[in-house]
């Protein structure tokens, strides 16, 4: 991003521009916000890029190498707004501040430049300011490092930190599962070693994150343990119990924060290790298809998360999003979450009181982080005060539960153990009305500090003296419009309209009033008396601000000491909010507690799609519930339900609602069904809808095949697979063949629970030969030539897709509809002449994939079973081979 010429300039640049060029050269990959007074200025190519990105005016300032220097700037007071837009557009910003008082610079000479330095690099994953963050979404910085597992295979360490809260966790992912691991975290920024950029391109493409390659100085595995140990002040990083890839990834995060935050370091919790296989694995395509936390368009509204989020705190919403993104696998842990929700359903008065108290709790995690990080203000202190007060009240409320489930008991203990003494101290110190920035002062309560109150009185009385002096001057000069004003350049001054000001230049007033400035229509003066008064006021104001800033620093130090306690309290508030919110939505939408265990059951009675049902409810329409049973029979393989039916009949909704029920159940929520028994799903796959990926040169059909290949290559017996319209993107017989083979592979190889929707009605004949394939159809009725969609799923087979009727509803010209009917009649007549059912027994593909019974009493096989290859010498192995050949011939 640098465009500053490196050649020697024809004329020496100004000292200020020399300083800018030096600082910019040290940060070539960032836009440089260069502080000049009340503005952050940008020059050269930075100015051109920023002016386009922000839509602000591009101006000029001086010359460099004989050419005008482009310049643009943004006000310091509105810098957060502009930073947010630049970060969202993918830029990194280096913030360069003045590091000395301009008065000190002038002491070195009239042309001396105020010292400046970059105090922070602003990147997508390192934001902390409220204005730059989405309150209800985590902002994760993720690092990926490659290494070897204990078994010797390739493995990736994945570390994540939310700089806005200090939460830090690490885990491992296989090469095949890295994309899913990154998609679950949905990071804002991903750090990778420069050497892995090409290798990780496919996995990184599964996210929307900004990718930042880092050099060996940050990504060196040899320094990882020492860097982590130094940062967390422990003797050895082994204390964290991390593998080498995990250590490397965690150290990359720490090193990157040291690089970007420069003068300050964000407080971080000690890294918590996530166990492998602890959560349901969901790849990026499935997340997008099912719209778990956002719609395909990127909006939160209309997603599963939006449909069930009744949290009243930002922290609760962030935790719920995390749980939906990574549903658990352990039935006991899932049941513990369900117990907490059930307890709050059974105690409606307590639930209402808890939600009311939570509604008064600000975002404790982010407020405490900003204060401990040195970026907080008075309102952050007030947020900590109010959150801790809410925690105290909630602890008392939860104590009323006679038999609290384990999760609520842990939450109650954390709330009760919060630093309530600090909350009292903050309440006694902070004023009722608080400024945004501490430098504005006025945030310490009157009566808290006697010395401060005394100095304030002097300052405030001086203001009254200014008003009295103005009245005295107006009377003495007989100028009723005379005013005493103040600005940052002149300080206090006397202003009078020009026609009256001319009189002050003549005796007898000339001896008292000293002319300072002539304006258009006004003249400005000062007096010795006013100058003395200004000095006293300035000293009093400076003293007051100095005292208030000292009070702020004392309170900030107190918060920093209690940072871990604040984090624990914030986690407890979020956990309680999630439980209460899920209880609220369960009552509101008539949700049911699911039974989740280690079996291969999957049975839903009267299941509904939570997002579609919510949309229909707003329109006053009912949702038609349906059953689904994919439970594995005795042979251990899951059932495949082949769903046929008309377009617009609701097949896709039926498929999706089964997957969403599994996600909700294992996330710890109740499900939209009359009853649900779900054997924990370890991997969820969904291939629904059609979309191309032109950026990677993939057609719609290629995207479909890539996603289908991932499913068929990865799904195991505990997986749940949702497939919709496989093979529809190519020629009819090509598509039918692919769908046919895919069903056989799911049945014979993957052996997983699956829902497969199709318009290839020929596939329904497979149920005659595949014992775990069941046919189901979406029912319709015809009335006076019109199709009526009943949205009911029942056993059976559809014989038509009613596509022409749907085309008619869509508004195709009547002539096109009539012609389509005629063509359809001819095609169906030809198809009846050669039914596909005959192919079932004749196709060698099916015969090859179908399990074959072992022949009984085969001498060769019996002899082969008796051979122990590991116990044979080379000579004995050769002899055994000859014996087998002899048996085969006989």
* Alpha-carbon distance values, 705 to 140, 376, 645, 742, 764 (Å): 31, 51, 23, 11, 22
Residues whose CB is less than 8 angstroms from the CB of residue 736 and which lie 6 or more positions away in sequence, other chains included: 727, 760, 762, 763
Structure tokens at 334: 């899932």
Contact between residue 169 and residue 242 where contact means Cβ atoms under 8 Å apart: no
Contact between residue 547 and residue 315 where contact means Cβ atoms under 8 Å apart: no
Contact between residue 721 and residue 750 where contact means Cβ atoms under 8 Å apart: yes
Structure tokens at 391: 């925690």
Annotated binding site for ATP: 645-652
Q: How far apart are CA 604 and CA 587, in angstroms?
A: 19
* Sheet of 189-193, strands arranged across: 210-214, 189-193, 141-148, 154-162, 167-173, 272-273
Q: What is the DSSP letter of 796?
A: S
Torsion (CA) 829, 830, 832, 838 in degrees, nearest 10: -170
Q: How far apart are CA 295 and CA 726, in angstroms?
A: 22
Residues whose CB is less than 8 angstroms from the CB of residue 763 and which lie 6 or more positions away in sequence, other chains included: 642, 736, 739, 740, 743
Checking DSSP bridges between strand 683-687 and strand 720-724, what pairing results, if any? Answer: parallel
Q: How far apart are CA 849 and CA 425, in angstroms?
A: 73
Q: How far apart are CA 523 and CA 512, in angstroms?
A: 15
Contact between residue 367 and residue 383 where contact means Cβ atoms under 8 Å apart: yes
Residue 56 phi, psi (nearest 5): -115, 165
Q: Where are the alpha helices (DSSP H) in 419-496?
A: 420-429, 450-477
Residues whose CB is less than 8 angstroms from the CB of residue 625 and which lie 6 or more positions away in sequence, other chains included: 606, 607, 608, 673, 674
Q: HEC string of 119-181?
A: EEEECHHHCCCHHHCCCCCCCCEEEEEEEECCCCCEEEEEEEEECCCCEEEEEEECCCCHHHH
Residue 159 phi, psi (nearest 5): -115, 145
| Three-state DSSP state, 206 | coil
Structure tokens at 500: 């009256």
Q: Residue with structure tokens 């009340």?
A: 38
Residues whose CB is less than 8 angstroms from the CB of residue 343 and which lie 6 or more positions away in sequence, other chains included: 401, 404, 405, 408, 579
* Cis peptide, bond prior to residue 508, ω within 30 of zero: yes
Structure tokens at 841: 């027994």
| 3-state DSSP helix/strand/coil % of the chain, to nearest 5 | 50, 20, 30
Torsion (CA) 855, 856, 860, 862 in degrees, nearest 10: 130
- Chain centroid to Cα 418, Å, comes to 27
Contact between residue 612 and residue 303 where contact means Cβ atoms under 8 Å apart: no
Q: How far apart are CA 385 and CA 405, in angstroms?
A: 28
Question: For the purposes of burial, counting CB atoms within 10 Å of the CB of 489, is it exposed (0-12), middle (13-18) or buried (19 or more)?
Answer: exposed
First CA to last CA distance, the chain: 80
| Three-state DSSP state, 868 | coil
Annotated binding site: 645-652
């Amino acid at each position: 991003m640098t465009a500053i010429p490196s050649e020697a300039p024809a004329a020496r640049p100004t000292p200020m521009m020399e300083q800018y060029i030096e600082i910019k050269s040290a940060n070539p990959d960032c836009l440089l916000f260069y502080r000049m007074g009340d503005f952050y200025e940008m020059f050269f190519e930075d100015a051109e890029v920023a002016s386009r990105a922000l839509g602000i005016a591009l101006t000029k300032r001086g010359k460099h190498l004989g050419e005008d220097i482009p310049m643009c700037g943004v006000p310091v007071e509105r810098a957060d707004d502009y930073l947010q837009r630049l970060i969202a557009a993918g830029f990194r910003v280096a913030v360069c501040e003045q590091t000395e008082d301009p008065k000190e610079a002038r002491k070195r000479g009239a042309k001396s430049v105020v010292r400046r330095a970059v105090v922070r690099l602003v990147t997508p994953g390192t934001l902390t300011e409220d204005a730059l963050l989405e309150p209800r979404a985590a902002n994760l910085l993720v690092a990926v490092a490659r290494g070897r597992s204990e078994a010797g295979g390739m493995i990736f360490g994945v570390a994540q930190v939310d700089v806005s809260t200090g939460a830090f966790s690490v885990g491992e992912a296989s090469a095949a599962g890295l994309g899913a691991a990154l998609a679950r975290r949905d990071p804002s920024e991903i750090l990778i070693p420069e050497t892995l950029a090409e290798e990780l391109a496919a996995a990184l493409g599964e996210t929307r994150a900004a990718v930042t390659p880092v050099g060996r100085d940050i990504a060196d595995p040899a320094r990882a343990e020492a860097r982590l140990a130094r940062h967390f002040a422990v003797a050895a990083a082994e204390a964290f119990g991390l593998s080498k890839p995990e250590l490397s990834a965690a150290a990359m995060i720490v090193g990157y924060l040291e690089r970007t935050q420069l003068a300050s370091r964000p407080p971080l919790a000690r890294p918590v290790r996530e166990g492998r296989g602890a959560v349901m694995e969901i790849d990026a395509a499935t997340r997008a298809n099912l719209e778990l936390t956002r719609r395909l368009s990127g909006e939160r509204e209309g997603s599963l998360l939006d449909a069930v989020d009744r949290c009243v705190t930002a922290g609760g919403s962030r935790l719920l999003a995390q749980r939906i993104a990574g549903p658990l696998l352990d039935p006991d842990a899932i049941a513990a979450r369900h117990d907490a929700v059930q307890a709050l359903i059974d105690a409606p008065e307590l639930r209402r009181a808890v939600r009311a108290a939570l509604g008064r709790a600000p975002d404790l995690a982010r407020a405490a982080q900003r204060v401990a990080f040195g970026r907080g203000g008075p309102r952050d202190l007030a947020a900590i005060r109010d959150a801790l007060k809410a925690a105290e009240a909630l602890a008392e409320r939860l104590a009323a539960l006679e038999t609290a489930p384990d999760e609520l008991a842990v939450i109650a203990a954390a709330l009760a153990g919060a630093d309530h003494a600090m909350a009292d101290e903050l309440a006694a110190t902070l004023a009722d009305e608080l400024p945004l920035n501490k430098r504005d002062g006025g945030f310490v309560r009157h009566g808290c500090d006697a010395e401060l109150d005394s100095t304030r009185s002097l300052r405030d009385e001086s203001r009254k003296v200014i008003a009295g002096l103005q009245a005295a001057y107006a009377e003495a000069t007989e100028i009723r419009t005379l005013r005493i004003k103040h600005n940052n350049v002149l300080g206090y001054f006397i202003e009078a309209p020009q026609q009256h000001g001319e009189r002050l230049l003549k005796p007898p007033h000339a001896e008292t009033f000293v002319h300072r400035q002539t304006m258009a229509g006004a003249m400005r003066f000062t007096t010795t008396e006013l100058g003395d008064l200004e000095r006293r006021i300035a000293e009093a104001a400076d003293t007051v601000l100095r005292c208030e800033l000292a009070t702020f620093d004392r309170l900030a130090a107190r918060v920093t000491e209690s940072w871990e306690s604040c984090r624990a309290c914030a986690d407890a508030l979020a956990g309680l909010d999630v439980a209460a919110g899920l209880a609220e939505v369960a009552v509101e939408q008539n949700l049911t507690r699911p039974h989740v265990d280690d079996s291969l059951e999957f049975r839903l009675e009267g299941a509904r799609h939570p997002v579609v049902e919510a949309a229909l409810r707003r329109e006053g329409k009912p949702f038609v519930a349906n059953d689904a049973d994919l439970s594995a029979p005795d042979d251990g393989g899951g059932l495949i339900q082949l769903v046929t039916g008309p377009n617009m009949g609701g097949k896709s909704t039926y498929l999706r609602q089964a997957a969403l029920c599994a996600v909700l159940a294992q996330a710890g929520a109740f499900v939209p069904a009359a009853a649900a028994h779900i054997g924990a799903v370890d991997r969820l796959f969904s291939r629904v809808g059609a979309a191309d990926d032109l950026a990677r040169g993939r057609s719609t059909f290629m995207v479909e095949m890539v996603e289908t290949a991932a499913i068929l290559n990865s799904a195991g017996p505990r997986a749940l697979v949702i497939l919709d319209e496989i093979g529809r993107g190519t020629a009819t017989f090509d598509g039918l063949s692919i769908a046919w083979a895919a069903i056989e592979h799911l049945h014979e190889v993957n052996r997983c629970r699956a829902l497969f929707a199709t318009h290839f009605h020929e596939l329904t004949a497979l149920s005659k030969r595949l014992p775990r394939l069941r046919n189901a159809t979406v029912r319709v009725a015809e009335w006076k030539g019109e199709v009526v969609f009943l949205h009911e799923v029942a056993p059976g087979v559809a014989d038509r897709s009613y596509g022409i009727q749907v085309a008619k509803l869509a508004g195709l010209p009547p002539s096109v509809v009539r012609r389509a009917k005629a063509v359809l009649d001819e095609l169906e007549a030809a198809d009846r002449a050669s039914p596909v059912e005959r192919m079932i027994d004749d196709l060698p593909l099916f015969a090859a994939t179908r399990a074959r019974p072992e022949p009984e009493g085969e001498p060769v096989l019996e002899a082969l079973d008796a051979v122990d290859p590991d116990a044979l010498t080379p000579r004995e192995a050769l002899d055994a081979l000859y014996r087998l050949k002899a048996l085969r011939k006989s």
